[in-house]
Amino acid sequence: MSRKASDNVEYTLRSLSNLMGEKRRRQQAEGAAGSAAAGERSLIAAESCSSLNSAASGAELERAARRQFQQDETPGFVYVVSVFSALGGFLFGYDTGVVSGALLLLKRELNLDALWQELLVSSTVGAAALSALAGGVLNGLCGRRPCILLASGLFTAGAGVLAAARDKETLLGGRVVVGLGIGVASMTVPVYIAEVAPPHLRGRLVTINTLFITGGQFFASVVDGIFSYLAKDGWRYMLGLSAVPAVIQFFGFLFLPESPRWLIQKGQTQRARRILSQMRGNQAIDEEYDSIKNNIEEEEKEVGAAGPVICRMLTYPPTRRALIVGCGLQMFQQLSGINTVMYYSATILQMSGVQDDRLAIWLAALTAFINFIFTLVGVWLVERMGRRKLTLGSLTGTAVALIILASGFLLSAQVSPRVTLNPPDPSHQNSTCTKYSYCNGCMLDPDCGLCYKLNKSSVVESSCIPVDKDSTMKAAWGRCSNETVFKKEDLFWAYNFCPTPYSWTALLGLILYLIFFAPGMGPMPWTVNSEIYPLWARSTGNACSSGVNWVFNVLVSLTFLHTAEYLTYYGAFFLYAGFAGLGLVFIYGCLPETKGKKLEEIESLFENRLCTCGMSDSDEGRYIEYIRVKGSNYHLSDNDASDVE
């Protein structure tokens, strides 16, 4: 039987073997190792016997087995529910991505200074950080469904306020409302999907949420491109369009169910059973239902129900370890610089010789597209490679790409063209720009740009001039102050970069970065966080880790320009490469493999000391697959005979 087909098999005996492994560990700890191993051997021997007997009835039984699990295919309903909730991810991506294009138009129409531009961008991310943290309490108290409804309500209201805004204060209000929606959605959606998905599809379905995030970012960049041609009110469409998916999600969720796991926790067992069987089609749900229920009862006995959840999480070693792993993953995702790389993609592209501004906008959309397409690769890989290998591979590639990107900036800085002309400032204001003798200094000063000509590929007749206050695409005065005129005269204007023969290295680094980051480091922190906490700690665990993601998002993006000023661009990217290196050590040591495990089994992965996962890598290839046929267990595939001891 092919591996692909067997992936769809009910995990009855696989979970039995996991439980046996767990039981063995416990019994060994109690000093009863010998008898436990004997007990387990006899169990496995019994299974092998049953498989031998089954083999006797040969092909007929195998055919029955195939028929059974073909019928057991996951019902479409799970996909519908996942896609509707992932619209929350789409809105997260859209609303964080669209603002850069909207700002270009807004700053002209509403005369926004740098502080207001900064406020409109970071207020959303800041509000998201706060509401992700608060979302934990809401999720625990009211359930996942009301939280998703609340998020889509906030997205709709925010989009309405933004589209109708008449002044910058209203815009700020709208951006805060949207940010509150993003925070709640970012922590609720992965948890909800993980709780309704069957174990063998969970990774893939939760990763679809990140696919929707990057899809939203890509769509936003296309909308930015299209409406940038509309000088008046273009930003209203850009910011208001997100109301469409938000309304669709709101009405969709009025008809979609609550998470069965949350319902069982709250004692609403009949409703939970009904929803679970709806989600599993014609598959038997008794085993899953019992295992969720037993787990909740055991958790209550083990951890107790007194005190705030976060305190209980911190004092109970398995959840404390899970929290460290979850928050660490989210922190390293942001510290490896994804949002500055995306934000600076237009600059990096311009460095590599793209001179046309409109073309740069569309090429930035291409960057978002690469991020999106390679997240799709992650959706495909997550159930094949598993979370651990995918994250490790992705972060290794990301670190290498960052080194290439940084080297591109370093080489460009080293062969930085000289400033050869020093025209007098007609306004007689003493600008700092005219003091730089090399392009490198000029490009690091946010007020200046380089105006130059090209002789073959070398820069000639260059001058460092203040940038126009309304547009970074031209100089405030002099030869490069009128775009249409200077382009006709074969003059070029470089803002934020220096034209050098090595610029392509940075472009190569950018593309490699996205190819490696998008399938693993982009989605895995969200996916892993949705599955590593036991039910009682799931909302709080996800609230904390999403909060960490947003806080580091703000920190990294707000400090980028200052970091670049103190350390230069290449210094900043080398710094992110260093963080990625640290992240690799952390992930190698601390991230266990959760692929294919039931949510209820995952807690046992954190029973060992923190950061000892690297030592158990050799166990990963072990794989036994069984299915249940009409009450008896039929051994379907066993790729490693040594598993049967």
Ligand X SMILES: O[C@H]1[C@H](O)[C@@H](O)[C@H](O)[C@@H](O)[C@H]1O
Contacts with ligand X by CB under 6 A lie at: 210, 213-214, 217, 333, 338-339, 371, 522-523, 549, 553
| DSSP type of residue 624 | E
Q: Rounded distance, CA 91 to CA 216, Å?
A: 6
In whole angstroms, the minimum distance from the beta carbon of 505 to ligand X comes to 23
Q: Indicate the angle between helix axes 144-164 and 114-142, nearest 10 degrees.
A: 160
- Give the nearer residue to ligand X in terms of CB position, either 183 or 257: 183
- Give the nearer residue to ligand X in terms of CB position, either 519 or 534: 519
| DSSP type of residue 438 | B
In whole angstroms, the minimum distance from the beta carbon of 121 to ligand X comes to 13
- Give the nearer residue to ligand X in terms of CB position, either 198 or 215: 215
What is the b/e burial string over 55-74, where b = at least 16 CB atoms within 10 angstroms of the residue's CB?
Answer: eeeeeebbeebeebbeebeb
In whole angstroms, the minimum distance from the beta carbon of 309 to ligand X comes to 24
In whole angstroms, the minimum distance from the beta carbon of 52 to ligand X comes to 48
3-class DSSP assignment, residue 64: helix
The size of the chain, in residues, is 645
- Give the nearer residue to ligand X in terms of CB position, either 517 or 634: 517
In whole angstroms, the minimum distance from the beta carbon of 214 to ligand X comes to 5
Nearest to 146, CA basis, from 67, 65, 262, 63: 262
| DSSP type of residue 609 | P
- Give the nearer residue to ligand X in terms of CB position, either 343 or 588: 343
Helix (H) / strand (E) containing 564 = helix 535-590
Neighbours of 608 (CB within 10 A): 16
475 Cα distance to chain centroid: 38
Neighbours of 108 (CB within 10 A): 14
In whole angstroms, the minimum distance from the beta carbon of 619 to ligand X comes to 29
Structure tokens at 200: 């063998």
Q: Rounded distance, CA 21 to CA 399, Å?
A: 36
- Give the nearer residue to ligand X in terms of CB position, either 211 or 475: 211
- Give the nearer residue to ligand X in terms of CB position, either 473 or 558: 558
Q: Rounded distance, CA 387 to CA 409, Å?
A: 33
Residue with tokens 């089954």: 54
In whole angstroms, the minimum distance from the beta carbon of 438 to ligand X comes to 34
In whole angstroms, the minimum distance from the beta carbon of 352 to ligand X comes to 21
Residue with tokens 């790389």: 341
Q: Rounded distance, CA 286 to CA 276, Å?
A: 10
- Give the nearer residue to ligand X in terms of CB position, either 99 or 439: 99
First to last CA, the chain: 23
Residue nearest to ligand X (CB): 522
- Give the nearer residue to ligand X in terms of CB position, either 69 or 517: 517
- List the beta bridge partners of residue 626: 635
- Give the nearer residue to ligand X in terms of CB position, either 203 or 441: 203
- Give the nearer residue to ligand X in terms of CB position, either 295 or 553: 553
Structure tokens at 271: 């409703």
What is the b/e burial string over 445-468, where b = at least 16 CB atoms within 10 angstroms of the residue's CB?
Answer: beebbbbbeeeeeebeebbbbbbb
In whole angstroms, the minimum distance from the beta carbon of 398 to ligand X comes to 11
In whole angstroms, the minimum distance from the beta carbon of 96 to ligand X comes to 6
Neighbours of 490 (CB within 10 A): 8
In whole angstroms, the minimum distance from the beta carbon of 453 to ligand X comes to 38
* Burial (CB count within 10 angstroms: exposed 0-12, middle 13-18, buried 19+), residue 324: middle
In whole angstroms, the minimum distance from the beta carbon of 106 to ligand X comes to 21
Q: Rounded distance, CA 23 to CA 361, Å?
A: 58
- Give the nearer residue to ligand X in terms of CB position, either 210 or 277: 210
